[in-house]
């Protein structure tokens, strides 16, 4: 009897069949949003770390301030400020754009720090050797330093990417139509938590392979201690 009630509540076939198309659509939005965040955040983070490696003081200072701020701010706060505060000054953006921008900034801040740590880990002699052969600063960075630095950044970057892309769920707070948005509105509409179960399952389907992949990455490219 208890089991039946449990099944009726959390694994209700009727409710599931009604809401799964929504959830699938949500999965698509989540994937799309996550991919956009990863692309923007990693590119921006790499660009900032490279800019910082030229040791131009004012620029480095601004980069550190940016990285510190967006590592300190809770992502949900960034999303809410972008979505709810900026319309007051006629800078309205869609919920999707606000979530994308907010999480890209957060990922960029963390990625910058990770790439920077990677660049610092390459011995100074590598730069000196490259410059002594007549390569420019940028050439040295791109052909000599980064290829060595990136290897060390793979494991921490993967973990951070997972953490930030899981944050796409936060978009539901500003009504981005991603998985959990459909799942919770579905659950309250149906008066039954089955859509939540579906939503939870959808996240596991999307993210569990990535988490398992990261475990593999970690053993393969572990920071040498």
> To the nearest whole angstrom, how small is the minimum distance from the Cβ of residue 157 to other proteins?
14
Residues in Cβ contact with 42 at an 8 Å cutoff, skipping those fewer than 6 apart: 107, 108, 111, 157, 161
Cβ proximity to other proteins: between 135 and 207 the closer is 207
Sequence-distant (≥ 6) Cβ neighbours of residue 131 within 8 angstroms:
137, 140
For the bound state, the minimum distance from the C-beta of residue 136 to other proteins, rounded and expressed in Å, comes to: 26
What phi and psi, each to the nearest 5 degrees, are found at residue 73?
-75, 130
Q: Which is nearer to other proteins, 46 or 83 (CB)?
A: 83
What minimum distance in Å lies between the beta carbon of 90 and other proteins?
9
Indicate the residue among 127 and 168 with the shorter CB distance to other proteins: 168
Q: Which residues bind other proteins (CB under 8 A)?
A: 6, 9-10, 68-69, 71-78, 80-81, 84-86, 88-89, 113, 117, 120-121, 162-163, 166-170, 172-173, 179-180, 183-184, 187-188, 192-193, 196-197, 199-200, 203-204, 207-208, 210-212, 215, 223-225
**Distance (Å, rounded) from C-alpha 204 to C-alpha 117?**
31
Q: In the complex, what is the shortest distance from the CB of residue 17 to other proteins, in angstroms, rounded to a whole number?
A: 19
Q: Could you tell me where the beta strands, DSSP code E, fall in the chain?
A: none
Neighbour tally for 202: CB within 10 Å:
21
Nearer to other proteins, 51 or 80 (CB): 80
Contact 215, 59 (CB under 8 A): no
Q: How far is the CB of 134 from other proteins (least distance, A)?
A: 29
Give whole-number Cα distances, 191 to 1, 59, 123, 186, in Å.
20, 54, 61, 8
Q: Which is nearer to other proteins, 59 or 85 (CB)?
A: 85
């Amino acid at each position: 009897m208890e089991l039946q009630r449990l099944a009726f509540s959390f694994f209700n076939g009727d409710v599931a069949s009604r809401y799964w198309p929504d959830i699938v659509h949500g999965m698509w939005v989540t994937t799309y949003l996550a991919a956009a965040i990863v692309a923007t955040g990693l590119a921006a983070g790499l660009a900032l770390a490279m800019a910082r490696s030229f040791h131009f003081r004012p620029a480095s200072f601004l980069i550190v301030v940016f990285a510190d701020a967006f590592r300190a701010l809770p992502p949900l706060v960034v999303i809410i400020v972008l979505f709810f505060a900026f319309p007051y000054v006629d800078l309205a953006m869609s919920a999707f754009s606000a979530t994308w921008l907010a999480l890209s900034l957060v990922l960029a801040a963390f990625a910058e720090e990770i790439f920077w740590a990677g660049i610092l880990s390459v011995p100074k002699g590598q730069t000196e050797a490259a410059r002594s052969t007549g390569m420019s600063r940028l050439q040295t960075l791109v052909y000599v330093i980064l290829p060595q630095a990136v290897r060390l950044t793979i494991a921490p970057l993967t973990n951070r990417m997972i953490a930030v892309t899981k944050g796409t769920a936060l978009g539901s707070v500003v009504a981005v139509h991603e998985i959990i948005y459909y799942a919770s509105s579905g659950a309250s509409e149906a008066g039954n938590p089955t859509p939540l179960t579906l939503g939870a399952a959808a996240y596991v389907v999307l993210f569990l392979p990535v988490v398992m992949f990261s475990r593999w990455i970690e053993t393969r490219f572990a920071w040498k201690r």
